[in-house]
C-alpha cells in the first residue's frame, strides 16, 4: 500500500485566508468529508469536496501528512493548488501540498500543526482563502510565473502560503501577483492550471520547505532592466523592459534566467555567429557606476552564451568581494551579426627602433580576417612627453585583464574591471627597464581578436638632439 503514495511537488504557489478555528492532525477522523478552496476558472473561488483517506509520512521530510481523494471524478489535484486551504466543517485542517504522481485523484495535505504561524482571530477581509495568485522574481515584459493558491492573510496583511518551497533558500523575494485561471488541463496522470498575472499586490519575503511568507503592499523596490536589440543591421530593432524585485539572492538566482528568456522570446533567429554588447549600470541618482563593451563569437547558437556572459559580468561587478552595489538600473545594447567577426593577429612591425618624446610611431599590424583574408593596417601610437628617455619595451596585448585579486578597495576593483582588455581590443603599452608600465593605449576593432603569440619590441627613447645628430 505504501507504494501508492508516490507524489509530485505542486510547484505553483497558493495563498489563503484561514478560518479562526482549526483541527490538529491528531484529532482528524479518517473518512471525514472536507473541502478545498481554490480557483478553477477566472477568479472565482470554489469549494471542492474531498475525503480524508489515511495518515502517511512524507518520504522526504518524514512529516505527518494526510492522504485525500477527490470526490468528483472529473476534478483532479492540479499544479497550482499548492497552498489551497482545506477545511472540515469550516475548520481549517491544513493546505494542499502534493499530488500523487501517477493518479491525480489523490493528494497530500500538510497539517495545520506544521504552520509556524497558526491562524489568527483577526483576518484580512481583502484577500479570501483560495484566491489564485502567482509569484515571480520578474515583472514587465518578462514574467517567470508560478501559479498557486493563498492559505492565510492576517489583518496586518501578512501573507502565508503553506505547502512547500520553490527554492527553499530562506531570504529571497518574489513579486506576489493576483492571477486569473484561463483553464485547467485535467488528466488523471497530469493536471495543471493555465493562467496569467492580473496585478502585483505585494511581495514574498521568505521561501522555506514549509512554504512562503510575504506582505501585501503597494510600493516595492526593484532593479530595472532595459535591453535594446539590433538585428539585421538595424532593420529589426526591439526594446525589452522588465524589473527584478530588489533582493541580492533573487538577483543572483534569476538574473541569467531572465536574460535568457528575454533573448529567446525576442531574437528572431538562433544562427547568429557574432554579437556585440554594451551595458551600463546606474545608481538611483542616475550616475553611471560601471560600463562594459565587448564582443562574443559562437558557432552553435549565441543566445545561451550571451545570457551567461552578461549575467556573470554584471554579478562580478555588483556582488564583489568588497561591497554589494545596490544599483537602480541596467541598460544593455546588443547587436547581432550573421558572420564570424574574427581577426587573427600574426604580426606587428615598427619602421625603426629609436624615437623621441612626442613622436608618433606607425605600428604596422598584420592579421587574417575570417572569410576575408590577410589584411595590413597601420595604427598610430604617440610617445608621451612626460616619460624618461632611455630603453623601453613596447608590448602588444590581446585578451589580457588585470588580476583583480590584488585590488585593495572597491574603487580600484571597479577601475580594473572597466579597464580590462575586451575581446575586440588591442593594448599597446610601454614598460621601463624595471618592468613598470609607464604608458598605455587601447585600440578597438570591429572583430574578436585572437593571437597565439605575445609581441614585444625593444625601443629607445632618445633626446631630440641625439636623434638629429645621428
Asked whether residue 12 falls in the same domain as residue 151, the answer is: yes
For residues 75 and 39, state if they share a domain.
yes
In this structure, the answer to whether residues 250 and 200 fall within a common structural domain is no
Residues 187 and 39 occupy one common structural domain: yes
pLDDT given for residue 120 in this prediction: 59
Final residue in a domain of this structure, among 337, 354, 375 = 337
Whether 171 and 301 map to the same domain: the answer is no
State the cell numbers at 237: 530593432
Model confidence over 171-196: pLDDT tens digits? Answer: 899 999 999 999 999 888 999 999 99
Residues 11 and 151 in one domain: yes
pLDDT of 452 higher than 90: no
Does residue 236 sit in the same domain as residue 206?
no
pLDDT 10s digits, 210-230:
899 999 988 999 999 999 999
Residues 31 and 175 in one domain: yes
Q: Which of 311, 337, 363 is the last residue of a domain?
A: 337
Least confident of 15-19, 107-111, 131-135, 348-352: 15-19
pLDDT of 6-49, one tens digit each? 444 454 433 333 345 788 899 999 999 999 999 999 999 999 99
Q: What is the pLDDT of residue 124?
A: 60
Flag whether pLDDT at 290 surpasses 90: yes
For every residue of the chain, which 3-state class applies, written as one string? CHHHHCEEECCCCCECCCCCCECCHHHCCCCCEEEEEEEEEECEEEEEEEEEEEEEECCCCCCEEEEEEECCCCCCCCECCCCCEEEECCEEEEEEEEEECCCCCEEEEEEHHHCCCCCCCCECCCCCCCCEEEEECEEECCCCCEEEEECEEECCCEEEEECCCCCCCEEEEEEEEEEEEEEEECCCCCCEEEEEEEEEEEEEEEEECCEEEEEECCCCCEEEEEEEEEEHHHCEEEEEEEEEECCHHHHHHHHHHHHHHHHHHHCCCCCCCEEEEEEEEECCCCCEEEEEEEEEECCCCCHHHHHHHHHHHHHHHHECCCCECCCCEEEEEEEEECCCCEEEEEEEEECCCEEECCCEEEEEEEEEECCCEEEEEEEEEECCCCCCCEEEEEEEEECCCCCHHHCCCHHHHHHHHHCCCCCCEEEEEEECCCCCEEEEEEEECCCEEECCCCEEEEEEEECHHHHHHC
Judgement on whether residues 53 and 200 belong to the same structural domain of the protein: yes
Distance (Å, rounded) from C-alpha 251 to C-alpha 253? 5
Q: Which of 288, 315, 337 is at the close of a domain?
A: 337
CATH of the domain at 90: 2.40.10.10
In CATH, what number is assigned to the domain containing residue 243?
3.30.1490
pLDDT-derived band at 402, boundaries 50, 70, 90: low
> Are 276 and 415 within one domain?
no
Can you give the residue range of the structural domain that contains 412? 342-469
Residues 443 and 367 in one domain: yes
Count of structural domains within the chain: 3
Does 364 share its domain with 462? yes
Amino acid at each position: 500500500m505504501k507504494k501508492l503514495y508516490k507524489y509530485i511537488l505542486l510547484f505553483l504557489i497558493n495563498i489563503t485566508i484561514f478560518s479562526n478555528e482549526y483541527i490538529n492532525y491528531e484529532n482528524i477522523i479518517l473518512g471525514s468529508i472536507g473541502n478545498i478552496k481554490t480557483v478553477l476558472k477566472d477568479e472565482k473561488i470554489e469549494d471542492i469536496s474531498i475525503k480524508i483517506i489515511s495518515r502517511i509520512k512524507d518520504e522526504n521530510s518524514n512529516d505527518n501528512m494526510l492522504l485525500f481523494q477527490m470526490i468528483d471524478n472529473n476534478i483532479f489535484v492540479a499544479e497550482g493548488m499548492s497552498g489551497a486551504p482545506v477545511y472540515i466543517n469550516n475548520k481549517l485542517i491544513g493546505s494542499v501540498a502534493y499530488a500523487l504522481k501517477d493518479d491525480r485523484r489523490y493528494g497530500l495535505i500538510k497539517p495545520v500543526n506544521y504552520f509556524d504561524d497558526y491562524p489568527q482571530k483577526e483576518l484580512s477581509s481583502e484577500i479570501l482563502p483560495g484566491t489564485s495568485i502567482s509569484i515571480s522574481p520578474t515583472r514587465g515584459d518578462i514574467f517567470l510565473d508560478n501559479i498557486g493558491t493563498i492559505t492565510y492573510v492576517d489583518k496586518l496583511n501578512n501573507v502565508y502560503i503553506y505547502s512547500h518551497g520553490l527554492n527553499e533558500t530562506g531570504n529571497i523575494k518574489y513579486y506576489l501577483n493576483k492571477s486569473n485561471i484561463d483553464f485547467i488541463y485535467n488528466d488523471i496522470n497530469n493536471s495543471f492550471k493555465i493562467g496569467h498575472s492580473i496585478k502585483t499586490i505585494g511581495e514574498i519575503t521568505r521561501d522555506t520547505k514549509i512554504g512562503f511568507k510575504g506582505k501585501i503592499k503597494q510600493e516595492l523596490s526593484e532593479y530595472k532592466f532595459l535591453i535594446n536589440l539590433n538585428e539585421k543591421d538595424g532593420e529589426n530593432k526591439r526594446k525589452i523592459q522588465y524589473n527584478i524585485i530588489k533582493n541580492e539572492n533573487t538577483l543572483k538566482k534569476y538574473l541569467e534566467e531572465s536574460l535568457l528568456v528575454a533573448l529567446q522570446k525576442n531574437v528572431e533567429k538562433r544562427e547568429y555567429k557574432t554579437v556585440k554588447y554594451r551595458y551600463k549600470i546606474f545608481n538611483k541618482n542616475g550616475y553611471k557606476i560601471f560600463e562594459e563593451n565587448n564582443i562574443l563569437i559562437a558557432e552553435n547558437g549565441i543566445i545561451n552564451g550571451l545570457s551567461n556572459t552578461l549575467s556573470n559580468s554584471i554579478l562580478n561587478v555588483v556582488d564583489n568581494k568588497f561591497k554589494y552595489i545596490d544599483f537602480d538600473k541596467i541598460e544593455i545594447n546588443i547587436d547581432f551579426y550573421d558572420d564570424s567577426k574574427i581577426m587573427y593577429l600574426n604580426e606587428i612591425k615598427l619602421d625603426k627602433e629609436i624615437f623621441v618624446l612626442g613622436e608618433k610611431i606607425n605600428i604596422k599590424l598584420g592579421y587574417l580576417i575570417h572569410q576575408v583574408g590577410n589584411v595590413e593596417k597601420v595604427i598610430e601610437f604617440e610617445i608621451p612627453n612626460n616619460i624618461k628617455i632611455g630603453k623601453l619595451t613596447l608590448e602588444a596585448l590581446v585578451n589580457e585583464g588585470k588580476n583583480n585579486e590584488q585590488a585593495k578597495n572597491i574603487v580600484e576593483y571597479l577601475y580594473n574591471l572597466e579597464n580590462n582588455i575586451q575581446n575586440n581590443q588591442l593594448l599597446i603599452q610601454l614598460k621601463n627597464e624595471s618592468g613598470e608600465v609607464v604608458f598605455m593605449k587601447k585600440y578597438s576593432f570591429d572583430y574578436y581578436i585572437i593571437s597565439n603569440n605575445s609581441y614585444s619590441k625593444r625601443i629607445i627613447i632618445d633626446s631630440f638632439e641625439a636623434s638629429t645628430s645621428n
